[in-house]
């Protein structure tokens, strides 16, 4: 049997196809409606595919029949609507289901046509997609009633069965330096079911005779630093050591991805001090595989991957996001693989791709099932094709001008720390009612760390009632001296706090609200009261709690003083 053939539906940048190519499969065609994806796909596979909308196959059998008959069909329907991170998982799933059914419709026609060549098909999507897809699809479900009748098949016959054929695959188990969990559906036609490839890697604590997961640090350390100017140095691919190229041939890596202080500070807060979600590493833990690479490069998000910058700056540019090349390596692409477009487009191409290591595992298993000879060394492009490639390399430090600002009226919510299952919060809206009350700022406490847990607001001036209790606490007088001798003078009016928050910077000797809260946290953490406990003993300061960390009592005093000062007319 000559090289088995593959067609890639929703091909994107070609990550799914790359894994199959590495196992000796011939990629015949890719289908995608996005021009940068098709240009990238064509460039890397030497093809001449045209932009094509998959919706064209929804009602037309002729369009499906015009597609080349291949041994394998692969596809990754766009996962945006299925993703749990999209509008907190509340996005309309209709579009995702529709596109998936079109893919399955193509598979069904190719699978059941007379003298079919199809031997297997595979589909990748986010894990959450399984909650919205049916256990099976009949020909009728796939808009193939008439086609089924013409081929003497019952329209009610189960054409595609997904039940028990949609396992969750972790890319790190197959050699990706990234924890990326995706649902893989599919079928080996002869066996009538999906078979899962054996894992090639393991977590460090597993007692299995396999190599341990490849870490983020290994990839990062194997690549040159983005601020390196040694363009004649040799770069060895961290995942494909047979690939050795000059640094001058390494695209999309030698440029500055530094973040404004307001961006990385927001990410740090959401990662390590989120109101109701667990703690994450900031910056990234390089002793583990990377977290999931996303399609958007947002340095201010909880999901953003953040490194300390090699440029040695403080404040603006102190931290950075991965370069496109780093992200591509974490996905499992060889360093010779090229992406076409702007930085934003390249990030989307990389983040939306299927990890080649995962598709390679299914390709290797397919060869075994097809009784084909084993390919021991991956078939890879040793030399990069740099023709018409717009590399992002510029070897220049970033100028941090035009700091991003927030929208008018943006909501603010921050707490210094979580402790005792409590957060004491400064906000410009009522957290419990989820609504703003003019320009007023509010001091509140939340009991519990989940959404919907009880929240209680404090009236302005409440700090006076707890001042005697603080004075009697360990280091309490020292704390009061700090707050009332300099700190209070840096609190602006309600409107000034709002304006500074929107501008994302302090002004006129006043502190913007994020800095007020962060400075408060530093004050308290330096007072040696972290393990001290306050017992209310008849005082009703924190409802539903008898014992409170002293630092939360201190936080309540200061935050209520902020709101009292800001709300004064």
DSSP string, 36-59: HHHHHHHHHHT-------GGGGTT
Least confident of 83-87, 341-345, 438-442, 549-553: 83-87
Give the residue extent of every domain in the chain.
5-202+355-369, 413-566
Residues 6+ apart with CB under 8 A from 544: 447, 454
Least confident of 39-43, 45-49, 334-338, 535-539: 535-539
Q: CA-based diameter of the chain, in Å? A: 88
For CA atoms 479, 480, 486, 488, give the dihedral sign: positive
Range scoring the smallest mean pLDDT among 211-215, 406-410, 417-421: 417-421
Please tell me the predicted confidence (pLDDT) of residue 448.
76
C-alpha dihedral sign at 328, 333, 336, 337: negative
What does the alpha-carbon distance between residue 299 and residue 266 come to, in Å, rounded to a whole number?
Answer: 8
DSSP bridge partners of 270: none
As a whole number of angstroms, the distance between CA 257 and CA 309 comes to: 8
**How far is Cα 106 from Cα 552, in angstroms, rounded to an integer?**
60
Residue 110: alpha-carbon gap to chain centroid: 34
What is the pLDDT of the chain when averaged over all its residues?
Answer: 93
Lowest mean pLDDT among 103-112, 116-125, 407-416, 526-535: 526-535
Catalytic residue of the set 11, 49, 79, 347: 79
- pLDDT value at 73 more than 60: yes
Neighbour count for residue 49 (Cβ, 10 Å)? 19
* Confidence band of 91 (pLDDT split at 50, 70, 90): low
Q: What is the pLDDT of residue 407?
A: 94
The predicted pLDDT at position 79 comes to 63
What proportion of the chain, given as a percentage, has pLDDT over 90? 84
Structural domain 5-202+355-369, CATH architecture: 3-Layer(aba) Sandwich (3.40)
What pLDDT does 87 receive?
Answer: 43
pLDDT tens for 1-30 read: 589 999 999 999 999 999 999 999 999 999
CA distance 171 to 124: 12
Q: Give the confidence band of 92 by pLDDT, cuts at 50, 70, 90.
A: low
pLDDT 10s digits, 463-506: 999 999 999 999 999 999 999 999 999 999 999 999 999 999 99
Percent of the chain exceeding pLDDT 70 equals 96
Tokens (6 digits) for 152: 């003497």
| Helix H or strand E segment including 364 | helix 356-369
Q: According to the model, what pLDDT value does residue 84 have?
A: 44
Q: What is the rounded CA–CA span in Å between residue 565 and residue 438?
A: 16
Poorest-confidence range of 253-267, 398-412, 522-536?
522-536
Residue for token digits 């017992």? 535
Q: What residues contact residue 552 under an 8 Å CB cut-off, 6+ apart?
A: 419, 420, 422, 424, 445, 534, 542
Per-residue pLDDT reduced to its tens digit, 355-369: 999 999 999 999 999
Q: pLDDT tier at 95 (50, 70, 90 boundaries)?
A: confident
Of the candidates 417, 456, 414, the one whose C-alpha atom is nearest the C-alpha of residue 433 is 456
**What is the rounded CA–CA span in Å between residue 92 and residue 81?**
6
For 434-457, write each residue's pLDDT tens digit.
Answer: 898 889 999 999 987 666 678 899
pLDDT tens digit sequence for 117-167: 999 999 999 988 889 999 999 999 999 999 999 999 999 999 999 988 899
Determine the average pLDDT of the residues in 248-257. 97
Residue 347 has pLDDT above 60, yes or no: yes
Short-list 169, 89, 85, CA closest to 131: 89
How much is the pLDDT for 449? 63
**Residue 81 — very low, low, confident or very high, per pLDDT cuts 50/70/90?**
low
| DSSP E strands, 289-414 | 307-308, 319-320, 413-414
**137/242 Cα distance (integer angstroms):** 44
The C-alpha R_g of the chain, in whole angstroms, comes to 28
Confidence of residue 80 (pLDDT cuts 50, 70, 90): low
- pLDDT value at residue 94: 86
Total residues belonging to the chain: 569
Query: What are the DSSP calls for 510-569, one per residue?
Result: BPPHHHHHHHHHHHHHTTT-TT-EEE-TT--SSTT-SEEEHHHHHHHHHHHHHHHHHT--
Q: Catalytic residue at 347?
A: no
> For position 231, what pLDDT does the model report?
86
Taking alpha carbons only, the member of 469, 478, 481 closest to residue 528 is 478
pLDDT at 494 (0 to 100)? 96
HEC-encoded secondary structure of 460-523: CCCHHHHHHHHHCCCCHHHHHHHHHHHHHHHCCCHHHHHHHHHHCCCECCECCHHHHHHHHHHH
Mean pLDDT of 277-303: 92
* The pLDDT of residue 253: 98
Give 63's pLDDT tier (boundaries 50, 70, 90): very high
- Taking CA atoms, 534 is separated from 172, 378, 402, 433, in Å, by 46, 63, 46, 29
Residue 296 is encoded by which pair of tokens?
A: 């958007």
**Cβ contact 554:479 at 8 Å:** yes
Query: What's the confidence (pLDDT) of residue 78?
Result: 87
Q: Which residue has the tokens 């959404």?
A: 451
What is the model's pLDDT at position 1?
57
């Amino acid at each position: 049997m000559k090289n088995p053939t593959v067609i890639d539906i929703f091909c994107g940048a070609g990550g799914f196809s790359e894994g199959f190519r590495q196992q000796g499969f011939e990629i015949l065609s890719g289908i995608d409606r996005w021009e940068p994806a098709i240009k990238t796909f064509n460039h890397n596979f030497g093809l001449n595919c045209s932009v094509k909308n998959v919706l064209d196959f929804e009602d037309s059998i002729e369009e499906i029949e015009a597609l080349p008959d291949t041994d394998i069909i692969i596809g990754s329907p766009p996962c945006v609507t299925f993703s749990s991170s999209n509008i907190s998982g509340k996005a309309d799933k209709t579009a995702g289901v529709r596109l998936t059914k079109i893919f399955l419709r193509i598979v069904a026609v190719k699978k059941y046509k007379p003298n079919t060549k199809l031997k297997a098909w595979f589909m990748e999507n986010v894990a959450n997609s399984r909650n919205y897809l049916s256990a099976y699809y009949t020909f009728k479900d796939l808009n193939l009633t008439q086609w089924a009748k013409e081929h003497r098949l019952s329209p009610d016959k189960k054409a595609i069965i997904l039940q028990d054929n949609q396992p969750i695959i972790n890319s790190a188990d197959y050699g990706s330096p990234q924890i990326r969990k995706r649902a893989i559906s599919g079928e080996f036609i002869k066996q009538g079911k999906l078979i899962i490839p054996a894992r090639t890697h393991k977590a460090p604590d597993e007692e299995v005779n396999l190599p341990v997961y490849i870490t983020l640090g290994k990839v990062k350390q194997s690549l040159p630093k983005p601020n390196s100017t040694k363009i004649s140095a040799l770069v060895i691919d961290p995942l494909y050591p047979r690939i050795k190229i000059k640094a001058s041939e390494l695209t999309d890596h030698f440029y500055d991805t530094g973040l404004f202080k307001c961006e990385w500070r927001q990410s740090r807060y959401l990662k390590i001090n989120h109101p109701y979600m667990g703690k994450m590493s900031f910056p990234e833990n390089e002793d583990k595989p990377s977290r999931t690479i996303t399609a958007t490069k947002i340095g201010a998000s909880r999901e953003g991957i953040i490194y300390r910058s090699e440029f040695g700056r403080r404040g603006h540019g102190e931290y950075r996001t991965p370069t496109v090349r780093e992200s591509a390596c974490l996905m499992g692409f060889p360093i010779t693989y090229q992406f076409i477009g702007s930085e934003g487009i390249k990030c989307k191409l990389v983040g939306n791709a299927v990890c080649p290591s995962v598709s390679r595992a299914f390709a290797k298993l397919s060869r075994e099932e097809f009784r084909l000879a084993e390919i021991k060394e991956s078939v890879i492009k040793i030399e990069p094709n740099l023709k018409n490639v717009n590399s992002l390399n510029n070897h220049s430090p970033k100028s941090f001008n035009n700091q991003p600002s927030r929208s008018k009226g943006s909501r603010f919510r921050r707490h210094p720390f979580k402790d005792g299952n409590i957060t004491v919060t400064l906000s410009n809206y009522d957290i419990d009612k989820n609504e703003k009350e003019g320009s007023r700022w509010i001091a509140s406490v939340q009991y519990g760390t989940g959404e919907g847990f009880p929240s209680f607001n404090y009236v302005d001036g409440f700090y006076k009632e707890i001042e005697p209790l603080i004075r009697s606490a360990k280091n309490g007088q020292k704390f009061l001296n700090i707050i009332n001798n300099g700190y209070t003078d840096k609190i602006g009016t309600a409107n000034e706090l709002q304006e500074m928050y929107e501008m994302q910077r302090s002004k006129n000797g006043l502190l913007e609200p994020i800095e007020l809260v962060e400075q408060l946290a530093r004050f308290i953490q330096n007072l040696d009261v972290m393990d001290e406990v306050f017992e209310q003993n008849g005082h009703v300061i924190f409802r539903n709690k008898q014992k409170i960390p002293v630092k939360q009592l201190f936080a309540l005093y200061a935050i209520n003083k902020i709101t009292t000062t800001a709300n004064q007319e």
